[in-house]
Chain A
Amino acid sequence: VLVLVRSPLPRLRALLQRHCGRLERGLWPGVLGGQSPPWGPALAVQGPALLPQWINDAGESSAKAPSLLESILWMAAPKKRRTIEVNRCRRRNPDKLIEIKRNIDVCPECGNLKQKHVLCGYCYAKVKAETRLIRMEIRKKEGGPFNAPTVETVVLYEGEKPTEKDEGKRIIERARKRPSWFVQN
């Protein structure tokens, strides 16, 4: 059994469109002040909050032209100058101030400051420089592009011999003493 489910949105939209149209044309009973619908009873007038305008208009319409103050668009403007006290309250409110960071620590290796969840900048720069030199050696060994080896790699410093764990690996020589923070395993 096929069940066709139509979303309620188009029906709702159509309903609203019809009623909007009726509102605009002034046919919705009693909503817009003062105007009774054309087919309303002649004697029993619907009681509006204000008297219909045409009663008073007859006397005044000849005297007053639509004044300039009613036809232009009014925009918001501050009434009074904001005092410095009020300004200070707004500007120094806690959520406008910059938050102080409480997650700054000292790196145990080098003593520079670091954030707790971030690597130390100095130590990382050290490691990055050494990695760059190792990669230059690798580039020299590989010779050209797309020559990635199919064996593991091991980095040996001055005076080091490959152990039995480094059996089938490609050896990258670095011409310096092993740094203290690069432990051989």
Chain B
Amino acid sequence: MRLSLAAAISHGRVYRRFGLSPRSRLDLLRNLVTALVRHERIETPWARADEMRGYAERLIDYAKRGDTDERAMRMADFWLTEKDLIHKLFKVLAPRFQPHPGSYTRLLQIPNRDGLDRAKMAVIELKGNPLPPLVRPRRDSDKTLLNQLLKGYRQDAQRAAAH
């Protein structure tokens, strides 16, 4: 009869394990957040990007409070290792995202890495960045059957309204 719980069960755990220790995991994510704020678009393994996304968005929420807020400044000081980015965060990113209520980042999967590990990679970017767009919004073609039928219906309705 088993008298101890198996150590391999991790039901309900939300945080992934990275690096050598919990502190190392935070350092890793902190480097990624700094890189994202500096370059506005980075390419990393999908798991790290996914984990980092939450931290980055919460940092921007803190930045939206304004740089006079003590808590926000302490958070920015911890999370951004390069201190010139604190100015960029409060003066560029906070005004840019002021109208948006949430979801300031975009996470997209890219083909697996070319090296031996074939890791699942993702590109994470801040919305509204000046770089070329990754995905072009596709407008529906006018030549599909459904669109032609709708066009015909619209024309019939206009003709009926005209008479």
Contacts and interface: CB of A to CB of B under 8 A. Distances in A.
A43 interface: no
Given A13-B3, A147-B84, A148-B88, A131 B41 contact: yes
Given A146-B83, A151-B92, A152-B130, 17 more contacts: A12-B3, A16-B1, A118-B111, A119-B108, A119-B111, A127-B132, A127-B134, A146-B82, A148-B82, A148-B84, A148-B85, A149-B88, A150-B87, A150-B91, A150-B92, A172-B130, A183-B136
B142 to A, nearest CB: 15
Contacts of A151: 91-92
A108 B132 contact: no
A109 B136 contact: yes
A27 interface: no
B100 to A, nearest CB: 15
- Range for the number of chain A residues in contact with chain B: 20 to 34
Given A118-B109, A119-B110, A153 B41 contact: no
Contacts of B83: 146
Contacts of A154: 130
Given A118-B110, A119-B108, A121-B111, A152 B84 contact: no
A181 B131 CA distance: 12
Interface string B95-115: 010000000000011110000
Interface of A: 9, 12-13, 16, 108-109, 117-119, 121, 124, 127-128, 130-131, 134-135, 146-155, 172, 179, 181-183
Interface string B61-93: 000000000000000000000111101100110
Given A9-B3, A119-B110, A150-B88, A155 B131 contact: yes
Nearest to B134: A127
Interface residues of B, number: 28
Nearest to A10: B3
Interface of B: 1, 3, 38-39, 41, 43, 82-85, 87-88, 91-92, 96, 108-111, 123, 130-136, 138
- 5 interchain residue pairs of minimum CB distance: A150-B91, A182-B132, A153-B130, A121-B111, A148-B88
A16 B132 CA distance: 70
Contacts of A124: 110-111, 123, 134
Contacts of B138: 108
Residue from the set B3, B92, B130 with the largest chain A CB neighbour count within 10 Å: B130
Contacts of B41: 131
A108 B41 CA distance: 24
Contact of A155 (B123, B130, B136): B130
A134 B133 CA distance: 13
A183 B108 CA distance: 20
Contacts of A13: 3
A111 to B, nearest CB: 14
A131 B92 contact: no
B129 to A, nearest CB: 8
20 contacts: A9-B3, A108-B138, A117-B109, A119-B108, A119-B109, A119-B134, A124-B111, A124-B134, A146-B83, A148-B82, A148-B88, A149-B92, A150-B88, A151-B91, A152-B92, A152-B96, A152-B130, A155-B131, A155-B132, A183-B136
